[in-house]
Every structure is written in C-alpha cells, then in structure tokens.
Amino acid sequence: MPFSPSYRAETLHAKLGDSFFDIVEPACFPEHILRFRNRRWAARTGLDTLTDDEWIAHFGRFEPLPDNFPQPLALRYHGHQFHMYNPDLGDGRGFLFAQLRDLEDGRLLDLGTKGSGKTPWSRQGDGRLTLKGGLREILATEMLEALGVDTSKTFSLIETGESLFRGDEPSPTRSSVLVRLSHSHIRIGTFQRLSHLGDEPAIERLLDYTIANYFPDLAAEPAERRAEAFLERVVARVARLGARYMVTGFVHGVLNSDNINITGESFDYGPWRFAPHYDPRFTAAYFDDSGLYSFGRQPGALGWNLTRLAECVLPLVGLERTEKILANYQSVIQREFQLALLERFGLRPATDAAKDAALAKALLEFLGKTRAPFEQTFFDWRGGLASRARAAASPEAARYETQEFAPLLEALADHEPAPSANLEHPYFQRTTPCTMLIDEVEAIWAPIAADDDWRPLGDKIAEIAMMRNAYGASANLARGAAD
C-alpha cells in the first residue's frame, strides 16, 4: 500500500557525524507475530496506511522507511548508573531506526527500538527483549500518557519466536522486539560521554543540534547565552517530569543519567511501578537496596542528574550562572507539582498562589497519615467540591469524614472547578478509577503466558483510552511542547 502523502521523513541525527553512533544490523528473528500497533500515533506520523505485513516488514525486519536511514544507528553515550560512572554504555539492545515529523505539531520524532539485537555496546547481553518486558512497556506508556505525563509512546510490539533466559522471570520465556516513539533519544549521558572524552567541539555541535531541532525558539538567543538558555530549558522540562511522576504516584525505578532525556520526556521502562498509596520509601526495582530511586527520592535523583548535565556545559555557561540555574530547580519543581496537582484535580489555580501551595501540603499530609488509595483520592475529588456527592458514594467515603481530611477539604474549597474537569464524562460516573498496580499487570500477563489470551490487554487499553479522553491528556501536554 502506498505511504500516506503526509508522512515526513528526516535523517537529521546522521548529520551529527559517525562519532555519535555506530551503524548496525538488526537481528533476524524466526517469527514475527504482531501483538500491538499504536494506531493513534501511526496516524500522527503518516504511517497509518501500512498493512500489517508492511508494518512487520518495517518494525519487525527493519526494512528502511522511505527516505529514512538506510541502516539503523546504535547511539553512543555514557552515564551514571546508581551514581557510578560507566563509560561502556551505549545502545546495547536497541538503535535509532528512523526519524519523522509529528503531523499535528511538526515536532521531530525518533523511532527507536528495544530488543532488536546485539550492537557494539551489548557487552555480555543478548540484545533481546522478553515479551513480558514489551507488555510492561505498553502498559506504562499508555497509562502515563493518559495521566498527562510526557512519555515515549510504545509504537509497536512484535513477538519474535525465540526462547530467552532471564534470572528475574521464569525461564525460558518468550521474546519480542519493541519500537518506541520519542521526542529525541539524546540523553544527559550523551553529553557526559563527550565531556568525558574532553571533546568540547562535539559538545557545541550537539548543543547546536539540540537547540535547532528540539528547542528552536532558543536559536534566537545571542550566541553567548544559548548554552545557558539550553540548560535552563532542560532543568524546567525535567522538573516538570519529576513533578508529574510524583502527582501520578509513578516510580520509574532506574533514574540513571543515561535514562534522562534532554526534552524531559520519560522513557525506557524496566522495573516501574505505580504506588498504591503515598509512601516516599516505595521502590520499583528489586535491586535498589538503598532506595536511591524510591518514590520520594525521585525529585532529588533528577536534580542530581541535572547537575551532571550542568558539569558538561559548564565551560559554555560559566560557574555563577550554572549555580543559579541549578539552585532554581527546587522552586521550579515545587511550582510544577502544584500545577500538575491542580490538573489532576481539575481545578483552576487560585488567585493567591499560597492557596495552591496549601492544597499540595494538605493532600500530602492526608495521604501520608491515612494511606488512602492514591488514584482513588484524585478520582473522587475531581472538580473539588463539585464532586462532593461523588466522593460520598466512593468506596473510600469513610476516610473523607475524618479529622485528617478536614484540611484538604478546606483547601479544595479554595479552588474552583476548571473547564477541563469534564465531570459529565462517563469515566467519572464510575465508582473506581482506572489503575495500574503490579497485581493488575501480572493479571494481564498470566492469560497470555498460559493460553496466549490477549483479551485482558485489549480490555485494559480500552479502559485507559476512556480515562485519557476524560482527562484530555493531549491538551495537558501541550504546555510542555510549547514552553
């Protein structure tokens, strides 16, 4: 079938030069069974006209897209992993397959892979992805997008017919290859590698590329201020991401510097989890013995990684300005948390910003003291006091009659419902919200593992789509794309 005339290919990353990547060959898989195809985002990239066979050809066998990279690019980067610097990183089981334009806003998009075979950076790995790992990435990205978190999108998942051995899963287990759609695969670790090598000209080249393609409004800045403006923008974007992790109860699990995208877009989902209730010590990764990336420490972890980026551009920004930008991170993430919280509640900001801060404080104190279900609380009080009758019919209604809830009720009363509250939507006629706790993930996987039954996954994706429409998540993300 002919490609849509709206499809717009790009090969901009290749212009950085071959010192930024290695040309690689994709793995040859024994089978290609299409398990997930993101039709919404296929339409936004002009790839919705592909047949299933054509889809598999491009995203399972990795035949090049028209006018795109003739061969995949395994990207080079370094990074701190649990605060230990690792100069041997890079795309070890993935590559940049293609670049193209978002047809709605014109932004540059990357199609990257996970589980597509060995590269020069695979070390002792097999370059593969388990099918369960691919399923978990679908669920993470669909849920986060619906909740208004700026995230990569799972574009495709194809089962590949191999048996994999993994210590953290019953082995052998089924294999897959995943394609993710992201606004850039440039990481803090990409800059760290060049800084480690002492290659200042390459840092400036990467900085110019990043500004031109991801922050084009900064191109008008005077040459001597462009690096400073870049650092300010990345700090703001990453602060916004951290705030939205906290407001959605999401724990990424592995916030290493190679997992932090300079556009502030969340990606690469391994041991993620949603917290069932507010618990700063809640961790997602079984190997995070110290709780370095626990729920409550995520803002600090992101700030630590931003400091590593600042070190890379320090010669271009200067010590005094760098320190001021980093010092501003805490106030930025606090305000972003308040704004994200208001969006989740469907409330207007108060004319007095102190009332927004009071709402945030009251919520955290209530959740911390009572261990009320995280998602249920936001769901029940969507629109503030406009949902008082809804909250009275909630399974958690008794909690809202307690002394611990009184300060939060008072803070909610100081805010008016926003037009985005959308309380007439059928989603808000339910008594319980859509959630994605670990038991639910396992319940979706179990019938796939036992009987190849994918219906629970389809049902869950449909439920998430209902929630996404109710929350208007795409509108919520518009501010992040425009700032």
Give the closest residue to 22 by CA, choosing from 69, 62, 75, 67: 75
Long-range contacts of 224-227 (CB under 8 A, 24+ apart): 227/313, 227/316, 227/317
Which two tokens mark 125?
A: 């790995």
CB-based burial, 424-441: b 16+ in 10 Å, e otherwise? ebebbeeeebbbbbeeeb
Which two tokens mark 336?
A: 């972003």
> Which residues make Cβ contacts (< 8 Å) with residue 292, sequence separation at least 6?
82, 83, 301
Cα atoms in the Cβ-side hemisphere of radius 13 Å centred on 190: 25
Selecting among 22, 258, 268, 414, the annotated active-site residue is 258
Which two tokens mark 379?
A: 């769901």
Whole-number Å distance between alpha carbons of 13 and 98:
9
Instruction: Report the chain's C-alpha Rg in angstroms.
Output: 22
Whole-number Å distance between alpha carbons of 188 and 191:
5
Helix or strand or coil: residue 93? coil
**For residue 23, how far is the Cα from the chain centroid?**
26
Whole-number Å distance between alpha carbons of 349 and 452:
47
Give the closest residue to 387 by CA, choosing from 342, 434, 348, 346: 346
Which two tokens mark 161?
A: 């017919």
How many Cβ atoms from other residues are within 10 Å of residue 171's Cβ?
11
Whole-number Å distance between alpha carbons of 335 and 345:
15
Which two tokens mark 418?
A: 């926003």
Residue 428 Rama label (left phi>0; alpha psi -120 to 50; beta): alpha
Whole-number Å distance between alpha carbons of 425 and 471:
9
Give the closest residue to 396 by CA, choosing from 412, 416, 378, 422: 378
Give the closest residue to 166 by CA, choosing from 37, 271, 31: 271
Whole-number Å distance between alpha carbons of 202 and 158:
36
Q: Is position 258 annotated as part of the catalytic site?
A: yes
Give the closest residue to 17 by CA, choosing from 157, 151, 204, 211: 204
Give the closest residue to 3 by CA, choosing from 58, 40, 61: 58
Active-site positions?
258
